[in-house]
Structure 1
Amino acid sequence: MRSERRILRALSLCSLAAAGFLATTLLADAADKITIMVGGYEKQIYLPAKLAEGLGYFKDEGLDVELLNEAAGVDAENQLLAGAVQGVVGFYDHCVDLQAKGKFVESVVQFSQAPGEVELVSNQYPDIKSFADLKGKNLGVTGLGSSTNFLTLFMASKAGLKPGEIVTVPVGAGGTFIAAMQQDQIQAGMTTEPTISRLVKTNAARVLVDLRTVEKTREALGGTYPAASLYMDSAWVAAHKDEVQKLANAFVKTLKFINTHSAAEIADKMPRDFYVGDKEGYIKALEAGKGMFTPDGVMPEDGPPTVLAVLSEFSKNVKGKQIDLSKTYTTEFVKAANASIGQ
């Protein structure tokens, strides 16, 4: 009897030990999983997110990264603030806007130094030649409070239009944006590739203001405008430096891949449905616009002041507020990534 009890006790202890090991392993796995929401991952401006996944760079760093898709950046921002995701691939200007509301998030990898957006105008309105001519019109943006909304309002103000002389309409991107323009719900709107090429190719719209290159962005906005980035809650970054460093390593390697490969080679790594049935057009658009991406993930020094100037022009949240730009981004992780990868 005693022998049987000893055996049963030993088996019970083994089972508990195994269960404890399994629980520890599951907790470790759960801790290693990072969820990142992308403000429309089929958009070329956010290409580094899916490209990093496709190249296997997250796995190379030992990360389990899940990418979620959300059409509007402002909705992705809300998911981050709610704690539903650990990071957002979206525009840096949210970091400035949120600080004005008492929320601290920071760009940890800066993907681009130009918005990669254009203001398209419907060819049903041939008389519209400048932004000032958009007075009284409905202008499409991805969402109210989104970066496209920020930029649209700024350019309207710069063109001399007063508040209320344009109406911004949330229409998303891709098919919903195209349908809104075709149905005359919007007469112009701000969008990205591949939506731009789809509308221009069919002669449904033309480019009114181009923000796809650094040069044209400086001309339109008065300076470099850091846009697409990986931004995260500052407290989470401080508490998870190892994970953030691994993410920075993966994204810096991705940006270097973009900088050293052709648009065709990059396109081959992307999901086929991103081409929207026109791979040649996708490649052509990427070739023309890939200069927007930073080669190293580092925030351009003149970028944050330009973003602050744009938001201060019209945003009630930011206007008159003291913003500490040094707390809206960090170069700690990308500089370490570049040093380890080698310049």
Structure 2
Amino acid sequence: MRTPFKISAAVAATALALAGLTACGGSSSGSAADAGDGRIQIMVGGLDKVIYLPARLTQQLGYFKAEGLNVTLLTEPAGVQATTSLISGDVQGVVGFYDHTLDLQAKNKQVESVVQLAHAPGEVEVVSTKAASEITSPKDFTGKKLGVTGLGSSTDFLTKYLAVKNGVKPEGITPVAVGAGQTFLSAMEQGSIQAGMTTDPTVAQVVNKKIGKVLVDMRTPEGSRQALGGPYPSSSLYMNTDWVNSHKDTVQKLANAFVKTLKWMSTHTAEEIAAKMPADYAQGGKELYVQAIKDTLPMFTKDGVMPADGPATVERVLKAFNPTLKNATIDLKKTYTTEFVKK
């Protein structure tokens, strides 16, 4: 698996020298923050995850360049770390889960989704083959070690909600940060976790290698409604609201590029999409990667627009277990904007 790296202000220059993660030129944090020359840094919560595929695909299709943007894509194994990079000013945008915008507003930080890439989580709760007989639904989570990408990540949020919804208290489970890809597979094989939440292509590998099986599938809007009670907008491009308001031309160009990609995805097959992606993203082989894309495609929007009742579902889910949000008043209209995608 490709090794993700972390970026902070102190190591920005070093990180950007790793050209393997970037198809466009790098820049220092200071020059990128201005964006006057079209240089933008976007942190992705796992570049090779299929749920965040539009980020790299937009670059591969040349749509950023066509808009006059020089976009550098960076990667973190979990969305929560990507959010930290945004708040600290190391990057201008994050491709990660929309639910972080609500969590941050409760902490007095104003961040908003400017392009909604998906209307379902794309997440799957898988149970290890060894524990399959004792965990047949989330009702059996009590006392179990459950894998998440990172503590405070969206997989952590959703795992806790599945527990609470099925009568298990959040403190009754043990979330274990295991990342995705090979680290997740190893944790499940070694018994460090009995079940866990992950995405494709990791899901495809878990099933193909018979390490585990699918317990809860949220890769489609139907699966999302069944598990969470409504559409759950997930993968998005979110940015600091102040930055959006002071760089509207740049944000419009980013929205144009991403929406073009979503439309392109809606008219092409999984095979055609896979062919555009870097070869090393197909960790379990080309056929398995194509299947992973095919299984995940239903989660993506075609126009980047936030589903009307999506934000309310996310708020209800988060308030069910998150003490920070439980009694907080969230202004949902400030957590996203459709201004740019509708143009």
TM-score computed with the length of structure 1 as normaliser: 0.89
Give the Cα separation in 2 of the matches to 1:105 and 1:26.
18
Superposition RMSD on alpha carbons, in Å?
1.5
1:198 corresponding residue in structure 2:
205
Can you list the C-alpha shifts for 1:80-119, whole angstroms capped at 9, x where unaligned?
Answer: 0000000000000000110000000000000000000100
Give the Cα separation in 1 of the matches to 2:337 and 2:319.
22
Higher helix content, 1 or 2: 1
Q: How does 1:1-40 map to 2 (within 5 A)?
A: 31-40=37-46
Given candidates 24, 37, 51, the residue that maps to 1:45 is 51
1:73 corresponding residue in structure 2:
79
Given candidates 251, 268, 272, the residue that maps to 1:265 is 272
Give the Cα separation in 2 of the matches to 1:326 and 1:27.
25
* Post-superposition offset of 1:31: 3.9
Give the Cα separation in 2 of the matches to 1:99 and 1:331.
18
The one-letter amino acid of 1:245's match is Q
Give the Cα separation in 2 of the matches to 1:284 and 1:162.
35
Can you list the C-alpha shifts for 1:57-79, whole angstroms capped at 9, x where unaligned?
Answer: 00000000000011010000000
* Post-superposition offset of 1:289: 1.8
Q: How does 1:1-343 map to 2 (within 5 A)?
A: 31-127=37-133, 128-336=135-343
The one-letter amino acid of 2:199's match is T
The one-letter amino acid of 1:231's match is Y
Q: Residue 80 of structure 1: SS of its match in structure 2?
A: helix
* Post-superposition offset of 1:171: 0.6
Aligned pair in 2 of structure 1 residues 82, 280: CA closer, same or farther (>3 Å)? same
8 Å CA contact 2:33–2:40 kept in 1: the answer is no
Aligned pair in 2 of structure 1 residues 175, 322: CA closer, same or farther (>3 Å)? same
Q: Which moved more, 1:280-289 or 1:222-231?
A: 280-289
Gaps of 5+ in 2: 1-30
Give the Cα separation in 1 of the matches to 2:132 and 2:239.
43
Structure 1's consecutive aligned runs of 4 or more residues displaced over 3 angstroms after TM superposition are 25-31
1:6 corresponding residue in structure 2:
none
Give the Cα separation in 2 of the matches to 1:149 and 1:28.
34
Q: Residue 168 of structure 2: SS of its match in structure 1?
A: coil
* Post-superposition offset of 1:163: 3.0
The one-letter amino acid of 1:266's match is I
Aligned pair in 2 of structure 1 residues 230, 29: CA closer, same or farther (>3 Å)? closer
Identity %, equivalent residues: 59
* Post-superposition offset of 1:288: 2.2
Give the Cα separation in 1 of the matches to 2:142 and 2:121.
23
* Post-superposition offset of 1:126: 2.8
Q: Residue 159 of structure 2: SS of its match in structure 1?
A: helix
Give the Cα separation in 1 of the matches to 2:35 and 2:276.
27
Give the Cα separation in 2 of the matches to 1:311 and 1:138.
21
* Post-superposition offset of 1:30: 6.3
Q: Which moved more, 1:117-126 or 1:225-234?
A: 117-126
8 Å CA contact 2:32–2:39 kept in 1: the answer is no
Q: Residue 160 of structure 1: SS of its match in structure 2?
A: coil
1:20 corresponding residue in structure 2:
none
Q: Which moved more, 1:187-196 or 1:277-286?
A: 277-286
Give the Cα separation in 1 of the matches to 2:34 and 2:216.
49
Give the Cα separation in 1 of the matches to 2:211 and 2:295.
20
* Post-superposition offset of 1:134: 1.9
Can you list the C-alpha shifts for 1:298-318, whole angstroms capped at 9, x where unaligned?
Answer: 000010000000010110111
Can you list the C-alpha shifts for 1:150-176, whole angstroms capped at 9, x where unaligned?
Answer: 000001001100132110011100011
8 Å CA contact 2:32–2:41 kept in 1: the answer is no
Can you list the C-alpha shifts for 1:123-150, whole angstroms capped at 9, x where unaligned?
Answer: 0013221111121110000011100000
The one-letter amino acid of 1:124's match is K
The one-letter amino acid of 2:145's match is N
The one-letter amino acid of 1:254's match is T
The one-letter amino acid of 1:108's match is V
* Count, aligned residues: 312
Give the Cα separation in 1 of the matches to 2:92 and 2:310.
24
8 Å CA contact 2:319–2:325 kept in 1: the answer is yes
